[in-house]
Structure 1
Amino acid sequence: MGDSSRCRVCVTGGSGYVASLLIKKLLLKGHIVHATLRNLDDELKVRVLKSLPNATTNLLLFKADIYEPHQFEDAIRGCRIVFHVATPLLRTHGSQFIDKVEASVSAEVKIAKLCVELGTVRRLIYTASVVSMSPMKEDGSGFKDYFNESCWTPLNLSYPFSNSHLKAYVDSKTLTEKELLKFGESKESEGLEVVTLVCGLISGESPHRPSPALTTIITFSQFIDESEPFKLLRYLEELDGKVPLVHIDDVCDAHIFCMEQSSIHGRFLCATSFLSSSDIANCYRLHHPQLQQKHGECDEVANRNIRMNPNKLIEKGFKYKYDVDMILEEAFHCCKKQFLD
């Protein structure tokens, strides 16, 4: 496809943390972007997107709700690449689906089929999550000694710190990704290349948000009074063995990298670091000894011998810009004003 090409692309969930920065980067590269929003009457979200560079000429907004997947047809029409970033969070009134698991899987299949039916789409890039990549053994007896694209979260197990909302999220992300990859390998895909980018805990500043994103707060959660973000951190390390971290800038660049390849398909882990909560706390204490830790660590996690292998994407030629110290330092500055000042 080539770095110099300019094309028409679709980004679903356009006002989200990742999607809004991805749209900005795409516009700066000169692409025409079709962005979807659940509500075009949300003046704040619309204004943020319309204020992006080159938005006046190159950004088109479309109303589309993931619980009504047929609504994405107009946004996808004429596009060469579809970035499916949107994830169903809440059930809308009168939805045809039982829950967000069914909604996510059904919507993904419908969007993939639309990509084929409309004829112009060459690649579908799905923003997946490491909640689908647990290295837990199928029988729940412990973790494998590796964390890579071969790992799939066993959905029949219960995990510490879980609740009904987290279970639904994990089920939906795991089943949706599996279904999408299966579709990409089927005859029905008719040559549509399907990529799933399995992103770690995403941290970093978003210029479009006045306050830190929840995932950034989770990264710094051991040093704030609120308990819920820390529970989410502990949940993730009990699910994945440790915490895979990645910077939002690298996540968006990885999406664009996958877009610009002449050919690419399959599952790719997008993460730079694999740390326990103890490791994270130690990094913060080293650079900011004045910080007061609010929540205890779990030494057992720090002793887990699980190795992350993110080389599949790197071997394709992708280069990360942010190492773990840079990620944690930015999370500190993002959260400092809201939680420490």
Structure 2
Amino acid sequence: MEEKRTVCVTGASGYIGSWLVKTLLERGYHVRATVRDPGNEKKVKHLLELANASTHLSLWKAELAKEGGYDDAIQGCEGVFHVATPVELINQRQDGEEEIEATTLNGILSIMRSCSKAKTVKRFVYTSTAGTITVQPQPPVSEFTEDLCSDIDLCYLHKMYGCMYVVAKTIVEKAGWKYAEENGIDMVTVHPSLVLGGPFITPYTNISIGAAISLYTTGIASLKMMNGFSAVHVDDVCNAHIYLFENPLAKGRYICSSHTVNLFKIADSLSLKYPDRNIPTQFEGLNEAQTMIPCSSKKLMDLGFEFAHKNKETRDLCAETIESCREKGLLG
């Protein structure tokens, strides 16, 4: 196996972070994975059990709220993948500004300052979200593109689901671009839509997984809100991160999305696959003929990236997630 470079992954124990670590290790990278508590076996065991972990993975304690906390982990790295985000912001409404300031915003700036100090980082890849693009007073006619930036005031006005998460990611991305431009950091941002698929690595669920399994568990509220959204397989998200890190022509923002979420089609399919679950197929207040406005990944594909899971149906991505939860005993 060709010896690859050393990179740092923040938020390494999470859904996307752990899959990214797995993929990097499989490709021969030396990975410094930052987590809140390396000594918490329950939170890090799934990382230590990955292929090549014994020789190519090291765990580093770091927290977003601590200035300089990433200095040691980043020193000597050629690439930094900043995946960590306080996902608890998803459930906040309009009272999360202080937490955004204390963790998310100060966190990215602290990490980028660590990159500047290291003087070895050739590219900084930030995991943003399609949510920093899709909140618009007037949706586009055909598709969402990287030229758009979400309207923060509109997030507050509509008190939309995940309001503070979208606000935080939008504020943080803008701050990141400003720092990168002023300090000569080569930064690329990845904007995945709703991330689905499996078998995932973490021993617990998260917001994306919860949405994917919500029809199965009859907790359909979150998925109802996402009807018409775009989606992407977690494997494609992580492959895109590495592709954008390695490609010297990569520049700017990149949407990473391959599917749209049609709740009715997903429900019909899953009701047949799991007849004992009494999965609903009709949803009050939702229009089955709702116009789907996709998030365009044209810029990413024009760079040469290919989606490995593009031919799967969205219902298959949900089914993969459900089966992974079943195997892990997470469905009760």
Short-chain TM bin: 0.7 to 0.9
Aligned to 2:183: 189
Structure 1 residue 179 corresponds to structure 2 residue 165: no
Identity, in percent, stands at 30
1:11-48 per-residue CA deviation (whole Å, 9 max, x = no partner) reads: 01111111112112111222111111111221222332
Structure 1 residue 103 corresponds to structure 2 residue 103: yes
Q: Is the 8 A contact 2:133 2:149 kept in 1?
A: yes
Alpha-carbon RMSD: 2.8
C-alpha displacement of 1:90: 5.6
State how far apart, in whole Å, the 2-side matches of 1:89 and 1:52 are: 24
Q: Is the 8 A contact 1:90 1:100 kept in 2?
A: no
Secondary structure at 1:304's aligned position in 2?
coil
Give the structure-1-normalised TM-score: 0.82
Aligned to 2:321: 331
C-alpha displacement of 1:119: 0.6
Among candidates 170, 188, 194, match of residue 166 of structure 2: 170
Secondary structure at 2:287's aligned position in 1?
helix
Secondary structure at 2:237's aligned position in 1?
helix
Among candidates 66, 69, 88, match of residue 68 of structure 1: 66
Unpaired stretches in structure 1, ≥5 consecutive residues: 92-96
Structure 1 residue 231 corresponds to structure 2 residue 221: yes
State how far apart, in whole Å, the 2-side matches of 1:207 and 1:233 are: 19
Superposition pairs of residues 110-189 of structure 1, within 5 angstroms: 110-137=110-137, 142-145=138-141, 146-157=143-154, 158=156, 162=160, 166-184=162-180, 186=181, 188-189=182-183
Q: Is the 8 A contact 2:194 2:231 kept in 1?
A: yes
Aligned to 2:239: 253
How many residue pairs match? The answer is 318
Structure 1 residue 306 corresponds to structure 2 residue 313: no
Change (3 A) 1:283 1:181: farther
Q: Is the 8 A contact 1:196 1:267 kept in 2?
A: yes
Q: Is the 8 A contact 1:204 1:247 kept in 2?
A: yes
State how far apart, in whole Å, the 2-side matches of 1:75 and 1:248 are: 25
Q: Is the 8 A contact 1:20 1:49 kept in 2?
A: yes
1:59-92 per-residue CA deviation (whole Å, 9 max, x = no partner) reads: 121110111141001011000000001112469x
Q: Is the 8 A contact 1:220 1:331 kept in 2?
A: yes
Q: Is the 8 A contact 2:34 2:61 kept in 1?
A: yes
Aligned to 1:94: none
Among candidates 10, 17, 26, match of residue 24 of structure 2: 26
Give the structure-2-normalised TM-score: 0.84
Among candidates 291, 305, 308, match of residue 318 of structure 1: 305
C-alpha displacement of 1:232: 2.4
Aligned to 2:93: none
C-alpha displacement of 1:330: 1.3
Q: Is the 8 A contact 2:198 2:317 kept in 1?
A: no
C-alpha displacement of 1:333: 2.5
State how far apart, in whole Å, the 1-side matches of 2:331 and 2:52 are: 37
Q: Is the 8 A contact 1:116 1:189 kept in 2?
A: yes
C-alpha displacement of 1:277: 2.4
Change (3 A) 1:257 1:68: same
1:235-260 per-residue CA deviation (whole Å, 9 max, x = no partner) reads: 345xxxx2111111111111111121
Counterpart amino acid of residue 28 in structure 2: G
Secondary structure at 1:116's aligned position in 2?
helix
Secondary structure at 2:321's aligned position in 1?
helix
Superposition pairs of residues 18-57 of structure 1, within 5 angstroms: 18-57=16-55
Aligned to 1:82: 80
Aligned to 1:220: 213
Q: Is the 8 A contact 1:279 1:302 kept in 2?
A: no
Structure 1 residue 9 corresponds to structure 2 residue 42: no
Change (3 A) 1:332 1:90: closer
